Structure 1
Amino acid sequence: MKLVSIAVKGRRTYGIRTDRGVVDLGRRFGSRLPDLKALLAAGALAQAQEFLDATPDYAEPELSFLPPVDQPAKIFCVGMNYAEKRAEFGETGSAPTLFIRFPDSQTGHGCPVLKPAASDEFDYEGELAVVIGTAGRRIPRDRALDHVAGYSCYMDGSVRDWQHGWYTAGKNWQQTGAFGPWIVTADEVPDPHALAIRTYLNGRTVQDDNTGNMIHRIPALIEYISTFSALSPGDVIITGSPGGVGKKRTPPLFLKEGDVVEVEIERIGRLSNRVVRDAIAA
């Protein structure tokens, strides 16, 4: 099942994306389950599934995509989690490298990604996003995947010249992280570590790897993070980017106005965004 958050004529809602269109779950569940995060918190995926064969309410041209979880309480990002990426940056640490994104730094599929006016080093990073479905603390890794609602694509845009010794300042500019197009529920992804992951820039492949090459796998990441921070339904863990980022190319390959950046993950889908210069001057 593919779960989406959308806007239709200024109204925000969520639903099931099918080949025929989008079934509006927000209209069907009403105030009881007003958004996708509430659906996950209520453990209501089985109730949503009952509408898989319902007549769609919208065709995709009628709507715009929001980040699948529009306002997650927490967005944990994992850095240096693929062997090639670690080699590019000379990373040698053994513990997961973590940093935080804020919800207002996100945008949805098909929406503009903003290149900050203050930077000429805006970089692409394609990643697998894990969406938590069941709350937990100190979750053991052998039960960690039971807490996952599903998976999505993420373009974790990096403002490299603002990564001042750490990542936070380079990762939280408005609309620099694209998330979507939808969440594919975990039952449709039997092994999240057997997925081809690719990033395209203007149709050219710039990253090409497999999630099986993660250094710290998803169960280990959930165990590690939940040791110090409780995880809640709708929380997002972005699991790291493969090698091939623009900063480490010769010459460097940074995003510029008009570029189209896409992240495609096997079994999940293809996230696509155009780069637009932020109209607010530095």
Structure 2
Amino acid sequence: MKLATLRTANGGTTAALATGTDSYLTLPATDVGALLAQPEWRLVIEKAAEAVGDQNIIAAGDADFAPLLPRAGKVICCGLNYGDHIQEMGRDLPEYPTLFAKYADTLVGANDAVEVHGSGRVDWEAELAVVVGSELFHADEDQAREAIAGYTVANDVSMRDWQSRTLQWFQGKAWDGSTPVGPVMVTADEADQHFEVRGYVNGELVQQGNTSTLVFGPAQLLSYISQFTILRPGDLVLTGTPGGVGMGMTPPRFLKDGDVLTTEIDGIGRLENRFRIHAPVPANA
């Protein structure tokens, strides 16, 4: 099944189930994360489907996608996880995952505009993201695999000028309102084993990769992360980006004001976000 978080007319949000008939069924939870926090969340969906009425249906054309997990407790990202991206960044294959964190404040919806103030080197990173469905701590890979609620689309938009200021990536990765996620989560039981990930800038294909080439797969990442921090329902793990990022091009290429960044994964959906980039004022201005 496909789950989304939709904005409502009263200014709130609601979890919703894609019905397969060009509509969404609203669910008794404020967002997908709140839904997954209910131990019997699948039963909650079943009961809502049985009691469906016209007031619970939103036409697909009227759906306004909020960030899938607007209150995610943890947003953990893996860098340098595709072989081709590692090569274009001039690094060796890692022995352990390279991890960094974001906050829920970084997340935006599938079609939201992205406002950037203060960076002139805004880069793209199309990614598969994993949604945690049950608590994990000191888990092995089998336990981690069972705890995956589903998969979604993300773009780890990166401010390279800030990222390169120090050896720590955090300051270039955790900008408020900069990370599109959605439009839906496909539950793990209905998801493909591997995913084709693509990124476009103004319709031009700039990234393409298959998650079969990940150095650390989703279950490996969740298991590894759970060794040092508890993962809970509604947490989000980004699995890394394939080659084709702007910083790896010759010469480097970055997003400009007005550019449209599209992120697409077969079987899940696509993000389409227009960027409003307000570059920093030069020091000698």
**TM-score higher than 0.5:** yes
Secondary structure, counterpart of 2:57 in structure 1? coil
Partner of 1:124: 124
Deviation string for 1:54-85 (max 9, x for gaps)? 45622234342111111100000000000001
Q: 1:279 to 1:107 in 2, by over 3 A?
A: farther
More deviation, 230-239/135-144: 135-144
Secondary structure, counterpart of 1:161 in structure 2? helix
How far, CA to CA, are the matches of 1:278 and 1:62 in structure 2? 30
Aligned CA RMSD, in angstroms, stands at 1.9
Question: Shift of residue 2 of structure 1?
Answer: 1.1
Partner of 1:104: 105
Gaps of 5+ in 1: none
Secondary structure, counterpart of 1:178 in structure 2? strand
TM-score (norm 2): 0.90
How far, CA to CA, are the matches of 2:25 and 2:120 in structure 1? 41
Question: Shift of residue 280 of structure 1?
Answer: 10
> Letter of the aligned partner of 1:133 in structure 2?
G
Deviation string for 1:20-73 (max 9, x for gaps)? 211111xxx3xxx44322221113123314545845622234342111111100
1:139 partnered with 2:139: yes
How far, CA to CA, are the matches of 2:34 and 2:259 in structure 1? 35
Partner of 1:183: 185
Partner of 1:41: 37
Is the contact between residue 136 and residue 144 of structure 2 (CA under 8 Å) also seen in structure 1?
Answer: no
Question: Shift of residue 8 of structure 1?
Answer: 2.0
Secondary structure, counterpart of 1:223 in structure 2? helix
> Letter of the aligned partner of 1:137 in structure 2?
F
How far, CA to CA, are the matches of 2:280 and 2:167 in structure 1? 25
How far, CA to CA, are the matches of 2:235 and 2:76 in structure 1? 8
Question: Shift of residue 262 of structure 1?
Answer: 1.0
More deviation, 48-57/198-207: 48-57
Q: How does 1:1-282 map to 2 (within 5 A)?
A: 1-9=1-9, 10-18=11-19, 19-25=21-27, 29=28, 33-43=29-39, 44-52=41-49, 54=52, 57-92=57-92, 93-114=94-115, 116-163=116-163, 164-191=166-193, 194-277=194-277
Secondary structure, counterpart of 1:65 in structure 2? coil
How far, CA to CA, are the matches of 2:84 and 2:47 in structure 1? 43
TM-score (norm 1): 0.91
> Letter of the aligned partner of 2:139 in structure 1?
I
How far, CA to CA, are the matches of 1:154 and 1:34 in structure 2? 21
Q: 1:184 to 1:144 in 2, by over 3 A?
A: same
Aligned length: 273
How far, CA to CA, are the matches of 1:34 and 1:271 in structure 2? 21
Q: 1:244 to 1:251 in 2, by over 3 A?
A: same
Secondary structure, counterpart of 1:221 in structure 2? helix
Is the contact between residue 118 and residue 278 of structure 2 (CA under 8 Å) also seen in structure 1?
Answer: no
Q: 1:57 to 1:278 in 2, by over 3 A?
A: farther
Q: 1:82 to 1:156 in 2, by over 3 A?
A: same
Gaps of 5+ in 2: none
